[in-house]
């Protein structure tokens, strides 16, 4: 026991003197979690706080285009800047290149005229179908499209959201005009404003209800999603320090001396596992604490810890153990520190990507969804999400922990085979 | 048999890559209490033989016994308590202080905390490292590092001390301090198995020598008898006489 204690003390001393390693294990993940959570939180707040800059070139002179712009503004997603209607296509593109806005829309010159004509046509058809005489324009009326220019940095997912928002604004304008035309055709007087409001604004709202194991209805936020994910990332990134430490020890003379002493080398490996498992627990404690206490101070949503603390500890321990095992395995097989650090870091990013840390698993192609099961980071994030988002208990995370333990044991076995092959144990 | 510190019988070894030195039926005996020097040109097999003696590598056949106990049987590391090893490279943690290194290696050598503390104080005092006991070794001079390297090798007071060029790259003062210390522990009963290219120093320290070349012991005996036998006034003369003057690497 004294040998193990002395070895742990030695490992802790070396670790504490490795300032770069400590920075990589603690400071970098903290910066990462704050930045990513801030960015994602800002994305979640695209409506209300962080509006997308949009230029509007209204070539139409009618009232419907003005109503369209008002409807777009009401969505709350865009910061609208009107530009002269005489602006040419090239001039608009020039403004876009100058980063004046991410988006620009051009409302065609005959927008009001065409929408009005279409509304009259539709209302006429409706009256005819009621058995009344409506003014039907028989030929089909085609409305010129709204043109949307966008910066290429605008990702497809954002464009889909923007497109949806614009379509809903267009629909409101068209529906309102059709309603007015229909009302006028029947009553030969304009649609009263109050009735128009009642007819158009009485939209059914969407009641979002998170379905969790615990039955809780707290809405998940950017912190609940990001803090567990980047905590796992930080844990696995100890490969930079631990993998390098194993290689350094292998390459240094101290390793030769250890082999000649009457102590099994397994003591050194057990010590490293205990020491770095402690590091991973500390990483989790630091990052979670930041989520709870620091985030609200810097305007981010606070992290809510799961109610089952024991489950949180067990999941963190097993994730940490897997991360430590992976780092040791890399260290055993790498010939140089550069190999351990380079391959280790890249492999963690790959495992994080296929594990669903960078893009959610449900949004990944089928092949990647299948491949995710080999990533220990996948099972780690699934277990954490079950606790942080679903309000699950220990029994609920067992289906995630068993594969994670299996992968950990496999990594330990591979490391042991490597040590055996190299005559180290 | 009971008076032998090292006993090598019929040793066969070659590297799997079939390169470098190989031993075929090598025999060597080092009596207890000797200051034994193993010399040879580069690539002769000195370091390989020391690695076999310390169990770092295993022989294909034959046996090596230290104080009558076989070495190289992996599961049984009790025999490792009998010897200390001072490799040519600095074999410790440069980030740690001498006291911290000795604390760790003392535990690995099988000492209790109390024994380790006691030996640490003794060794740091004797080797002139007491004033820097808590400073990181990475800031030390080459000579100070050599002394730390030696201190770790003798932390557990081994019966046999195996040294691979323990004074390489140090100044005259440190060399004298190390040699004096080795002589002192030999007087206290420790058998020294030593190799070096500093033949003047070796001549001063060793009373029994073996010359090895191309994996074979080409001469062994009391230093004075060998010099007399080959008509050489110095160890260096004896060395050149037996191994020739051509480059070996």
For residue range A169-203, what is the model confidence (pLDDT) as tens digits? 999 899 889 989 888 888 888 888 888 877 777 66
Instruction: Report the pLDDT value the prediction gives residue A197, as an integer from 0 to 100.
Output: 79
Confirm whether B118 is domain-assigned. Answer: yes
Confidence of residue A217 (pLDDT cuts 50, 70, 90): low
- pLDDT tens-digit readout, A328-341: 999 999 999 889 88
Q: What are phi and psi of A259, to 5 degrees?
A: -65, -25
**Mean pLDDT within B19-32:** 84
Give residue-wise pLDDT tens across range A284-294: 999 999 999 99
**What is the number of structural domains in chain B?**
1
Q: Between B92, B106, B153, which is nearest A254 by CB?
A: B92
Asked, for residue B5, whether it belongs to a domain, the answer is no
Residue B45 within a domain: no
Residue B115 included in any domain: yes
Note whether B108 contacts A261, CB cutoff 8 Å.
yes
Are A253 and B87 within 8 A, CB to CB?
Answer: yes
Judge whether A41 and B124 are in contact, CB under 8 Å: no
Domain harbouring B126, CATH code: 1.10.40
Minimal CA separation from B228 to chain A, in Å: 37
Using CA atoms, how far apart are residues A62 and A173, in angstroms rounded to an integer?
Answer: 12
Interface of B with A in 99-158 (CB under 8 A): 100, 103-110, 112-113, 136, 152-153
CA distance A120 to A178: 7
**Higher-pLDDT residue of A71, A132:** A71
CA atoms within 13 A on the CB side of B175: 15
Q: Is A81 helix (H, G, I), strand (E, B) or coil?
A: strand
DSSP letters for A365-411 = -HHHHHHGGG-HHHHHHHHHHHHHTT---HHHHHHHHHHHHHHHHHH
Of A257, A264, A423, the CB nearest to B105: A257
* Average pLDDT of the residues in B208-223: 86
Residue B18 is predicted with a pLDDT of 61
Quick one: pLDDT at residue A327?
94
Contact assignment for A261 to B100 by CB distance below 8 Å: no
Chain A residues close to B137, C-beta within 8 Å = none
Contact B93/A18, CB-based, under 8 Å? no
Contact B91 A259 (CB under 8 A): no
* pLDDT (0 to 100) of residue B248: 62
Q: Does B144 have pLDDT greater than 80?
A: yes
How high is the mean pLDDT of chain A?
A: 86
pLDDT confidence bin for A106, thresholds 50/70/90? very high
A18 interfaces chain B, CB cutoff of 8 Å: yes
Q: Which domains does chain A have, with CATH numbers?
A: 2-43+220-421 (no CATH), 49-201 (3.40.1710)
- Range of B124's domain? 92-157
Contacts across the A-B interface (CB distance below 8 Å): 85
Tokens 């009107």: give the residue.
A82
Contacts of B57 in chain A (CB under 8 A): 423
Q: Which residues of B touch A13 (CB under 8 A)?
A: 95-96, 100
In a domain, residue B130? The reply is yes
Report CB contact under 8 Å: B104, A262. Answer: no
**Predicted confidence (pLDDT) per residue in B153-211, tens digit:** 999 999 999 999 888 888 888 888 889 999 999 999 999 999 888 788 888 889 888 88
- Burial of A349: CB neighbours in 10 Å, binned 0-12, 13-18, 19+: middle
* Residue B52 backbone phi and psi in degrees, to 5: -70, -40
ipTM value, please give it.
0.88
Decide if B240 is inside a domain. no
Give the closest of A3, A17, A18 to B107, CB-based: A3
- pLDDT band at residue A322, thresholds of 50, 70 and 90? very high
Q: Chain A residues with CB inside 8 Å of B106's CB?
A: 6
3-state secondary structure of B10: strand
Say what the pTM is: 0.78
Residue pair A153/A102 in contact (Cβ under 8 Å)? The answer is yes
């Amino acid at each position: 026991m004294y040998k193990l204690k002395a070895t742990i003390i030695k490992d802790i001393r070396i670790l504490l003197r490795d300032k770069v390693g400590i920075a990589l294990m603690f400071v970098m993940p903290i910066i990462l979690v704050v930045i990513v959570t801030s960015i994602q939180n800002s994305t979640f707040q695209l409506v209300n706080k962080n509006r997308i800059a949009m230029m509007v070139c209204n070539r139409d002179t009618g009232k419907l285009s003005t109503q369209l712009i008002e409807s777009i503004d009401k969505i709350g997603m865009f910061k609208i800047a009107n530009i002269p209607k005489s602006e040419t296509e090239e001039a608009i593109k020039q403004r876009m290149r100058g980063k004046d806005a991410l988006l620009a829309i051009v409302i065609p010159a005959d927008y009001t005229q065409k929408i009005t004509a279409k509304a009259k046509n539709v209302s006429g058809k409706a009256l005819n179908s009621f058995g009344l005489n409506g003014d039907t324009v028989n030929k089909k009326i085609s409305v010129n499209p709204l043109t949307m220019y966008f910066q290429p940095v605008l990702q497809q997912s954002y464009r889909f959201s923007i497109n949806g928002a614009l379509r809903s604004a267009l629909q409101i304008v068209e529906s309102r005009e059709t309603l007015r035309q229909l009302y006028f055709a029947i009553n030969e007087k304009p649609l009263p404003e109050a009735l128009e409001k009642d007819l158009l604004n009485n939209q059914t709202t969407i009641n979002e209800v998170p379905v969790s194991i615990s039955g809780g209805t707290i809405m998940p936020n950017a912190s609940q999603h990001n803090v567990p994910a980047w905590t796992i990332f930080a844990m696995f990134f100890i490969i930079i320090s631990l993998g390098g430490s194993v290689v350094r020890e292998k390459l240094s003379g101290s390793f030769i001396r250890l082999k000649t002493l009457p102590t099994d080398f397994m003591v050194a490996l057990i010590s490293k596992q205990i020491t770095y498992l402690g590091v991973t627990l500390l990483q989790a404690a630091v990052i979670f604490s930041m989520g709870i206490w620091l985030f609200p101070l810097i305007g981010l949503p606070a992290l809510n810890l799961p109610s089952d603390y024991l489950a949180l500890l067990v999941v963190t321990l097993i994730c940490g153990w897997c991360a430590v095992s992976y780092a040791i395995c890399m260290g055993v097989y790498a010939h140089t520190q550069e190999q351990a650090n380079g391959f280790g870091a890249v492999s963690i990013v790959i495992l994080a990507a296929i594990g669903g840390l960078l893009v959610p698993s449900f949004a990944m192609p089928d092949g990647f969804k299948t491949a995710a099961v080999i990533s220990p980071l996948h099972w780690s994030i699934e277990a954490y999400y079950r606790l942080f988002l679903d309000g699950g208990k220990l029994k609920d995370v067992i289906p995630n922990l068993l594969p994670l333990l299996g992968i950990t044991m496999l990594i330990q076995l591979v490391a042991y085979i490597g040590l055996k092959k190299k005559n180290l144990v | 048999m009971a008076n032998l510190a090292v006993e090598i019988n019929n040793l066969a070894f070659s590297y799997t890559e079939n390169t470098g030195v190989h031993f075929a039926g090598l025999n060597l005996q080092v009596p207890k209490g000797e200051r034994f020097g193993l010399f040879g040109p580069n690539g002769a097999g000195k370091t390989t033989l020391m690695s076999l003696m310390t169990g770092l590598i295993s022989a294909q056949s034959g046996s090596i016994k230290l104080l009558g106990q076989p070495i190289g049987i992996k599961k049984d590391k009790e025999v490792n308590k009998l010897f200390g090893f001072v490799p040519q490279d600095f074999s410790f943690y440069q980030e740690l202080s001498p006291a911290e290194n000795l604390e760790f290696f003392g535990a690995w050598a099988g000492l209790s905390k109390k024994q380790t503390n006691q030996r640490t104080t003794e060794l740091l005092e004797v080797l002139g490292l007491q004033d820097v006991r808590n400073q990181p070794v990475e800031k030390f001079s080459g000579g100070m590092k050599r002394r730390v390297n030696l201190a770790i090798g003798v932390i557990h007071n081994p019966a046999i001390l195996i040294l691979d060029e323990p004074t390489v790259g140090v100044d005259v003062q440190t060399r004298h301090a190390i040699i004096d210390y080795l002589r002192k522990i030999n007087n206290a009963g420790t058998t020294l198995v030593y190799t070096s290219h500093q033949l003047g120093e070796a001549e001063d320290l060793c009373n029994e020598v073996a010359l090895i070349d191309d994996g074979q012991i080409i001469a062994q005996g009391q230093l004075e008898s060998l010099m007399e036998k080959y008509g050489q006034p110095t160890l260096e003369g004896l060395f050149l006489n037996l191994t020739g003057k051509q480059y070996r690497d």
